[in-house]
Structure 1
């Protein structure tokens, strides 16, 4: 027997499957891959082995999936008949619903907090703008008050000038009054002299 050729039993033993399983896939091989020994036994070369291996693995996966489906169906049937399992399932479903409610509530709270933060931020911005406006107005008022004070209140130099000029003005006024009195006295003296001369000439 060639090294590359195996019997159905040898391949079945290697793959840990039944001979019937290998025989089933062997019979579905292309005719050119269905080799026979001199005594008529079925032989499998490396190419046929790869094809059969793929079929066996695919069949094994399919069987596993079928077993899982069957196991699930059996569990469903058992679940319907087992009060304890039914109660656990209800509790799990309740916890799932409760979890969804908690998440939804948290999302609403976060959204509400975001809105509150946005409102507070807007209020803070408005307050800062108003504070800046108030400060600007206050500075303008202070400037106007200082200008008015500068107009109403004379400087120190002006005060000194006024203080120095006031006695001079009073002195000038007194001089004028004295001059006027002197003129008046001279006028009176002249009038008296003329009157004396008239009486002198009269008695003469």
Structure 2
């Protein structure tokens, strides 16, 4: 390793704070993207000279080291507790919303299945009615069918003859 790279632990010891205090400072200051100043080997994060300057400048504005460390630890714990409580509330609300949506979806699915079953029953009823009507018309045609067809043809012929008689040749010329 190069001499200008330091671990977060080494920086914390140098500044007289905990590693958590350094990470909390970095988290709070969203304008700093520490990734450009760090490299990682295994589980160890190494900070280059520029990153070290930025981290040190973050701690220069505070009061004494002991007070700062105690304050950061207390604040971090309080904020972590509040954040955790808020996150738990959020997740509980999210779970209850998902459960209510799930219930609603089950209701809609049941309703859709009932409607599909009703449609199927109606379709079967219509098919059976159509079969009955066909069988009735076929049976009527079988016994009376020939007479009926002959009478129907005779009536159609008479209507055509009557139409032809009523037409006059000069009527078309006008």
TM-score class, shorter-chain normalisation, is: 0.3 to 0.5
When the two structures are superposed, what TM-score results if normalisation uses the length of structure 1? 0.37
More relative contact order, 1 or 2 (CA 8 Å, 6+ apart) = 2
* Structure having the larger proportion of residues in helix: 1
Please identify the structure whose Cα radius of gyration is greater: 1
